[in-house]
Amino acid sequence: MISPDPMAAIFSHGWNFSTLGSLWLPNSASSFGPEIQWLWDFWYWMSVFFTVLITGITVWFCIKYRFRKGIRENADPAPDHNTPLEITWSIIPLILMLVLFIFGFKYYMDMDQPPSGCYKISVLAWKWHWQFTYPDDAVTNTLYIPLNTPVEFVMTSKDVLHGFWIPDLSIQRDVIPGRTMTIWVKAIRAGHYKLQCAEYCGDGHSEMLANVIVMPIPAFKKKLAQAADIWMHNGKVLPLHVVGKRVAQLEGCLGCHSVNGARGTGPTWKNLAGSSVQLVSGSATADYAYLKQAILYPGQKMVAGFNNVMPDYYSDFAGAAHKRARKLDALIWYINTLSTHASKTSQPPVPDLPGKAGKAATQPASAAAGKAKSGKPAATEKAPPQKGAAIPAAAMPLVALGKKLYASMGCIACHTVNGTPVVGPTWKNLAGYPVKLTTGKTVIADYQFLRFMILQPGKKIVAGYPNIMPSFTTTLAGKKNAKKLDGLIWYINSLSDKTSKTTQPPLK
Amino acid sequence: MSAVNIPPKPKLNYLNCDKTIRSWLLTLDHKRIGVMYLISTLTAFFVGGMLAEVIRTQLLVPKGLIFHATKHMSSFAAYKHYNQVFTLHGIIMVFMVLIPIIVAGLGNVVIPLMLGAKDVAFPRLNLISFYLYAGGAVMAIVSTVCGAVDTGWTFYTPYSITTETYVCFMVGGIVMIGFSSIFTGINFIVTIHKMRPPGMTWFRMPLFLWGIYATSIIQVAATPVIGVTLLLLILERVMHIGFFNAALGGSPVLFQDFFWFYSHPAVYIMILPAMAIISEIVPTFSRKHIFGYEFIALSSLAIALIGFLVWGHHMFVNGQSAELDTIFSFLTFLVAVPSAVKVFSWMATMYKGAIKLDTPMLYAISFIILFTVGGLTGVILGCIAEDVVLHDTYFVVGHFHYVMFGGTIIAFLGGLHYWWPKITGKMYNETMGRITCVLLFIGVNVTFFPQLIVGAEGMPRRYASYLPQYQGYMIASTVGAYIQLVAFLMMAGYLIHSIFRGRKAPDNPWGGATLEWTAASPPTHYNFDDTPLAIEDCYDYSYIKYDPAIDGYVRTDMPAKPAEEPETAPAHG
Amino acid sequence: MSEAMQVEVNPQVVKKHLAHHFDTMQQQFDAGKLGMWLFLATEVLLFSGLFCAYGVYRALHPQIFQFAGLYLDPISGLINTIVLLTSGFTMALGVRFAHTGNRKGLSVCLILTMLGGFGFLGIHGYEYFGKYRQRLLWGTNYHPTVAPDGQKLLPAVGLIPPLARPKPIEAAPWHHLTLMGKRGFNVVHSNLAPAPIGVQGVVSKAKLPAPTGPYSQPNNVQIFFGAYFLMTGLHSLHVIIGIGLMLWLLIRNIRGDFGPSYFAPVEFVGLYWGIVDMVWMFLFPLLYLAH
């Protein structure tokens, strides 16, 4: 019976009943730790006393009054009841019980009533995953708790009962679907702790853990700011499929779906996209539409051999908000990267369908586009009234190269050429036009600007668009790649009716 | 003075009077039904025990030794099997072992004998009860063979509604076992009310009968509620009636209230008969009158009644109102007091006795110590603020195993060894019995004490894998489980050996003063030739003397060797 | 309970009907009667579990019960009450005839009681059929088309007619929770969305649309019909068992088993029928007069 964690005992800030520290219980990092430890110690030593007393007396009687042939064959006369004695040994336990009851009640009331003005963290639990949402919309899987701040957890479950249980913070409460449960805590010691699911919830119950990090408020704020943007990491914008992997972790997909082919609670994601899937009734091809449906409404098309345990992700991904829909696409991109069968049909459609966009790029702009005219070489010849310099014939091969790169490098996923703004700004009529940045400045999209935006997209951001474009430094920077980069910029120029010398790359 | 007629040693007893299988399967004899219950419950105990060994073996390493991730199986898919194992362990041990083993197993054999009656009040109902139990067990087996259940023995909604395992069969089986329990309860209440022998007033009844009486009241009053609860669960799964389904406007927590309204009293169904056995064994082996008879008798009833009002202490963290938490906590502390006083009374009984440390007495002493630990750990769980940091951890597991195993099973084993000569007519090897008891006592502590510590440190229950820092305790616990396995194998060995090779048992090997010891060992088909009178105090051992000739005890107020007398002794006054 | 019901001593009957383990017919009768009372107590507890569930839901959602109670017809409930009470009376009379050894009277009474039981089941069956036609069923099967007074029900709070229901929401097994940042949780109510239940100040801040018409209905009315079918169904099952028991008594009576010194089975079935009546006396006001 030694203190299980001597280090914790040394760094203890809690009030201890004895120099031995609170045996067994973890050294609580919460503000009610001292109360709980005091009461525990009281009970603990009371129990030790009574266990030793009862065991000792019983064993002593067994020895002292043991049956001995010829010496002690019969009991000595003794009363078979003694009212004062019986009352005494009823009253003493009763008093001890009342002490435990009263303090247990008092401390519980403290734990039950959150102080006003708590910092609120929403907790959402589902099989077998925790997700925490902070007031500024950051979403994390690790629970960050600001130090010395009363925090109230507002909890609910998507599917079955779960138990929100952090031993080191001495808090536990069930998380119940259809109800909102609350619990609060004030952490008084920074550190790394574990959240464990305490209420049995099925296959992954024992792995339904989350890291809990209690940190000082400045560090906490910094952490949340980082967590708020899943599209970036250390200032670098991530490719979509990497974002998809993050989404998969955040939403707890990987607990049930393996990425290495192992059989799990759900089908593996390895070689899933584009393959044929055996359903409970019939079969289907795991194309984009199927994957989307399977994530949003999991019960609708059950894969043969698996149980219907997946909660629906409707609220996580569906809806009008672009941000959420894009997360789903990122996730499906990730699933596609795991498959050798992945194809156009299994990949998320790049906005405004690649085929159409490609066509649009080769054809004159539609009349509906208004004054806009395609900057395509053929068109420039037919459009003398158009202002700005035309594309010189010498640049035509570069325009063609740029157009090819537009599709092959994936620019097509986020930038249209027909004037529709999607994830990123459209390339139609971009070159030579003024662009408003998030800093509030307005700049003309000239050659230098375009170059800068392709190579270091995160540095300047066009107002109204998310900062999600990956940097193309590795593929387009340097002398070796100068031709490619210029080709792209020539292509962008060819789409604009304000193309001019300043917006075009220099011709050698 | 006794007016019990001891007939000549009969050749035919209840075991050998008719040896056909049919005569066993259709028997109305309470002793045979009791023996069938004992065989069934012990078989179930064996299965449940082996599952426990599987659980303990799995937990030897943090990621699971038996069910863990492989190339072809993710960890979750593997853990599902672990979940099925602990669920089955819980269901078997609670519904098929702990609840019936003492009341229906030993109780069926002993109660009519203690009452000097020929049988229980409703022998046919008794047989129906047994077959309901057997039918329930069959349904549980069907469920297990089809794909088992992974809900935990508590069947908490909404998990039990949504899981795609065979919950309906299992729950249906438990409903059947519940009805078996109700009928047994009715049978025993009526038997104790209406079939007491002349002279046995309520306060002259052996305490075992008081314990069974209190237990039967709980069985009759609480079991219908779990019946209807589980029925609702089946309807929920089959017809989507929506009572416990949040999506349909129901409340998943209501299920918990209903479930514990039965299952907490069910804890007393398990522990009251255990205490009742101890109340028989301790005075017999101390050769001294039980201390505080009235208190022990009435405290059984008090525990039974208050036990109905404490179910909410299983739900301190599920968000029921703080007022309810407080009331339930208070009542929980109240119910602890009579249990404590019972322990003190047993100790006072031993004071100045002449204590013979035979196997049943060793079990009784083990019970007192283990139950003390179980009770004290229960006290802290009833304390609301502390329950928050202990709820659903291994501390709870350790606590209820101390009570259920260290209490009920140890007391049952004491009772089994106590009445074994009466049931089988044979004596087991006393030395082996004592060694096994000590080994088991060590095994129980090594198994369950580390669970208390690891739970307090924060390890939740029902975990197929766990954080590495808990591994030391888990290994210790597993070692304890293996020690228990060895002890039980030894016990099975010497008990089975005794049936075939055991020394013939005298009618009264321990010197008990209750009426069952006046019957032959094993008793005849109708137990007694004449309804015996119960004039003496059943805890007065002064007139029961050891007779070396038969290596047993005889009552000195009647002819020492009735077997030598051709005709039955005339009834005294 | 078993207050001094005297059983006549008749040696022949004793030989035929006294079990080996009882000393006297009186003891056997008393034991049987106590056992029967205990069994009936468990029956009452079985129903009281359901009454508790009813009480809890009624306390949590009074509006459901006020609304849905209008669907039940108190008149047919009242007729059923009268039918069942009458059969209770004929059963009691039958027990009396058994005590006095009036075989013919007992047979007539048993037949009348059975007829009462069948009548009760018939009226109930008719009601069930009506509920089925209106799709006033439990759980997910609740899709009513008409309001309690027969008018067309407007799609309103929490109710979207089955065909017009948006597919995805129907398919989603649980209500949809949306995390709304600072505002905490918002429960988006689908047609199956849970009403805010809870003890500790529940945070369902979703604003329900105002009722759109006089026949708009509250959420989760299916709970009431779940309770209705469950409780009356279980009670009807007891009526069916009772009719079966009476048939058995009738056969035994025609065979001439019963008389002043052996009437225990009649007495016990009488007690059982009394409990069946009593349960109905609770069910009727709780369900039919719920509004």
**Residue B460: beta bridge partners?**
B393
Q: How far is B74 from chain A (nearest CA, A)?
A: 4
Q: Does B444 score more than 50 pLDDT?
A: yes
Q: Answer whether B239 sits within 8 Å of C138, measured CB to CB.
A: yes
Quote the Cα angle for B361-B364-B365, to 5°: 90
The whole-number pLDDT of residue B392 equals 93
In C, minimum Cα distance to A312 occurs at C172
Q: Answer whether A26 sits within 8 Å of B253, measured CB to CB.
A: no
In A, minimum Cα distance to B150 occurs at A202
**Residue C179: beta bridge partners?**
C185
The whole-number pLDDT of residue C145 equals 67
Q: Which amino acid is at C145?
A: T
| Alpha-carbon gap, residue B67 to B470, rounded angstroms | 18
Distances (CA, A) of A343 to A352, A409, B168: 17, 16, 44
| B72 token code pair | 């072809």
Q: Does C235 score more than 50 pLDDT?
A: yes
Q: Answer whether B292 sits within 8 Å of A86, measured CB to CB.
A: yes
Q: Answer whether C222 sits within 8 Å of B249, measured CB to CB.
A: yes
Q: A314 touching B, CB under 8 A?
A: no
| Alpha-carbon gap, residue B156 to A178, rounded angstroms | 15
Mean pLDDT over residues B286-310, rounded? Answer: 90
In B, minimum Cα distance to A256 occurs at B76
| B280 token code pair | 């028989």
497-526 in chain B: CB under 8 A from chain A:
none
Q: Beta A236-237 vs A232-233: how paired, if at all?
A: antiparallel
Tell me what ipTM this predicted complex has: 0.89
List Cβ neighbours of B281 (8 Å cut-off, separation of 6 or more): B360, B361, B363, B364, B414, B415, B418
Distances (CA, A) of A370 to A387, A424, A429, B138, C68: 15, 22, 12, 79, 60
- Condensed to tens digits (0 to 9), the pLDDT of residues B78-116 reads 899 999 999 999 999 999 999 999 999 999 999 999 998
Q: How confident is the model at residue A358 (pLDDT cuts 50, 70, 90)?
A: very low
In C, minimum Cα distance to B240 occurs at C139
Q: Which helix (H) or strand (E) holds A95?
A: helix A83-112
The whole-number pLDDT of residue B89 equals 95
- Condensed to tens digits (0 to 9), the pLDDT of residues C161-173 reads 333 333 333 323 3
List the one residue out of C223, C189, C219, C222 whose CA is nearest residue C58. C223
Q: Which helix (H) or strand (E) holds C177?
A: strand C176-179
In C, minimum Cα distance to A159 occurs at C174
Q: Which residue has the tokens 């390895």?
A: A270
Top-confidence residue, A287 or B133: B133
List the one residue out of A369, C144, A291, A78 whose CA is nearest residue B542. A78
| Chain B contact set for C174 (CB, 8 A) | 246-247
| Alpha-carbon gap, residue B227 to B229, rounded angstroms | 5
In the 8-state DSSP scheme, what is residue A280?
A: S
In C, minimum Cα distance to B220 occurs at C42
- Superfamily of structural domain C25-147+219-288: Cytochrome c oxidase, subunit III, four-helix bundle (1.20.120.80)
Q: Does B566 score more than 50 pLDDT?
A: no
In C, minimum Cα distance to A300 occurs at C171
Provide the residue ranges of all domains of chain B, joining segments of one domain with +. Answer: 29-528+539-564
CATH for the B29-528+539-564 domain, from 3.40.50.300, 1.20.210.10, 2.40.50.1020, 1.10.1040.10: 1.20.210.10
Q: Which residue has the tokens 């329990």?
A: B181
Mean pLDDT over residues B187-214, rounded? Answer: 92
Helix (H, G, I), strand (E, B) or coil at A130: strand
List the one residue out of A455, A396, A454 whose CA is nearest residue A430. A454
Q: How far apart are the first and last CA of chain C?
A: 37
| C208 token code pair | 């329900």
Q: Does C138 score more than 60 pLDDT?
A: yes
Q: Which residue has the tokens 């938490």?
A: B325
| Alpha-carbon gap, residue A85 to B466, rounded angstroms | 48
Q: Does C214 score more than 60 pLDDT?
A: no
List Cβ neighbours of B501 (8 Å cut-off, separation of 6 or more): none
Q: C140 touching A, CB under 8 A?
A: no
Top-confidence residue, A458 or A385: A458
The whole-number pLDDT of residue A319 equals 53
Please, are residues C37 and B193 in contact by the beta-carbon 8 Å criterion? no
84-143 in chain C: CB under 8 A from chain B:
138-141
Q: To the nearest whole number, what is the mean pLDDT of chain B? A: 89
Q: Answer whether A54 sits within 8 Å of B377, measured CB to CB.
A: no
28-87 in chain A: CB under 8 A from chain B:
28, 32, 35-36, 39-40, 43, 46-47, 50-51, 54-55, 57-59, 61-62, 65-68, 72-82, 85-86
Q: Does B532 score more than 90 pLDDT?
A: no
Q: Does A103 score more than 50 pLDDT?
A: yes
Q: How far is B91 from chain A (nearest CA, A)?
A: 15
- Condensed to tens digits (0 to 9), the pLDDT of residues A410-457 reads 777 678 787 766 667 888 888 888 888 877 788 888 888 888 888 877
Q: Answer whether C174 sits within 8 Å of B247, measured CB to CB.
A: yes
Tell me which of C30, C42, C64 to substitute to probe the interface with B (most B C-beta atoms closer than 10 Å).
C42
List the one residue out of B53, B108, B90 whose CA is nearest residue B404. B90
Mean pLDDT over residues B524-528, rounded? Answer: 86
Sign, CA dihedral B458-B462-B468-B471, equals positive
- Condensed to tens digits (0 to 9), the pLDDT of residues B341-376 reads 999 999 999 999 999 999 999 999 999 999 999 999
| Chain C contact set for A154 (CB, 8 A) | 184-185, 203
Cis peptide before C155 (omega within 30 of 0): no
**Residue A196: beta bridge partners?**
A165, A209
Q: Beta A143-146 vs A139-140: how paired, if at all?
A: unpaired
List the one residue out of A216, A220, A229, A166 whose CA is nearest residue A195. A166
Q: Answer whether A78 sits within 8 Å of B162, measured CB to CB.
A: no
Q: A344 touching C, CB under 8 A?
A: no
List the one residue out of C287, C267, C269, C290 whose CA is nearest residue C279. C287
Query: Nearest by CB to C173, which of A137, A181, A299?
Result: A299
| A34 token code pair | 């001292």
Sheet holding A139-140, edge to edge: A139-140, A129-133, A119-126, A150-157, A181-186
Burial environment of residue B21 by CB neighbours within 10 A (0 to 12, 13 to 18, 19 or more): exposed
Q: Which residue has the tokens 């602990």?
A: B86
426-465 in chain A: CB under 8 A from chain B:
none
Count of residues in chain B: 573
Q: Answer whether C185 sits within 8 Å of A154, measured CB to CB.
A: yes
Q: Work out the percent of chain B whose per-residue pLDDT is above 90.
A: 61
Q: How confident is the model at residue A180 (pLDDT cuts 50, 70, 90)?
A: confident
Please, are residues C231 and C290 in contact by the beta-carbon 8 Å criterion? no
| Alpha-carbon gap, residue B211 to C55, rounded angstroms | 34
Q: Does A166 score more than 90 pLDDT?
A: yes
Burial environment of residue B468 by CB neighbours within 10 A (0 to 12, 13 to 18, 19 or more): exposed
Phi-psi region of A478 (alpha: psi -120 to 50; beta: other; left: phi over 0): left
Quote the radius of gyration of chain A (alpha carbons, Å). 34
List the one residue out of B418, B440, B449, B442 whose CA is nearest residue B489. B440
Mean pLDDT over residues B14-33, rounded? Answer: 89
The whole-number pLDDT of residue A485 equals 86
Provide the residue ranges of all domains of chain C, joining segments of one domain with +. Answer: 25-147+219-288, 158-208
List Cβ neighbours of B373 (8 Å cut-off, separation of 6 or more): A47, A51, B402, B406, B449
Q: Does A339 score more than 60 pLDDT?
A: yes
Quote the Cα angle for C40-C45-C50, to 5°: 130
Distances (CA, A) of A49 to A32, A42, A43, B446, B450: 26, 11, 10, 20, 19
Q: C175 touching A, CB under 8 A?
A: yes
Count of residues in chain C: 291
Q: How confident is the model at residue C198 (pLDDT cuts 50, 70, 90)?
A: very low
Mean pLDDT over residues B419-448, rounded? Answer: 95
The whole-number pLDDT of residue A1 equals 36
Quote the radius of gyration of chain C (alpha carbons, Å). 25
Quote the Cα angle for C96-C102-C106, to 5°: 65
Q: Which domains does chain A have, with CATH numbers?
A: 6-112 (1.10.287.90), 119-228 (2.60.40.420), 239-337 (1.10.760.10), 359-494 (1.10.760.10)
Chains that touch A (3 or more CB pairs under 8 A): B, C
| C239 token code pair | 């009526």
| Alpha-carbon gap, residue A272 to A57, rounded angstroms | 69
| B431 token code pair | 């030395």
List Cβ neighbours of B35 (8 Å cut-off, separation of 6 or more): B109, B423
Helix (H, G, I), strand (E, B) or coil at C185: strand
Top-confidence residue, B491 or A277: B491
Q: C197 touching B, CB under 8 A?
A: yes
Helix (H, G, I), strand (E, B) or coil at A390: coil
| Alpha-carbon gap, residue B360 to B277, rounded angstroms | 10
Quote the Cα angle for B506-B512-B517, to 5°: 50
Query: Nearest by CB to C172, which of A124, A135, A297?
Result: A297
Tell me which of B61, B335, B389 to substitute to probe the interface with A (most A C-beta atoms closer than 10 Å).
B389
| Alpha-carbon gap, residue A300 to A285, rounded angstroms | 15
Q: Answer whether C202 sits within 8 Å of A179, measured CB to CB.
A: yes
| Chain B contact set for A83 (CB, 8 A) | none
Q: C177 touching B, CB under 8 A?
A: no
Q: A98 touching B, CB under 8 A?
A: yes
Distances (CA, A) of B226 to B117, B321, B529, C49: 32, 23, 42, 9
Q: How far is C190 from chain A (nearest CA, A)?
A: 12
| Chain C contact set for A124 (CB, 8 A) | 177, 179
List the one residue out of B445, B446, B339, B441 whose CA is nearest residue B382. B339
| Alpha-carbon gap, residue B234 to B241, rounded angstroms | 9
| B289 token code pair | 């009158």
Q: How far apart are the first and last CA of chain B?
A: 8
Q: C188 touching A, CB under 8 A?
A: yes
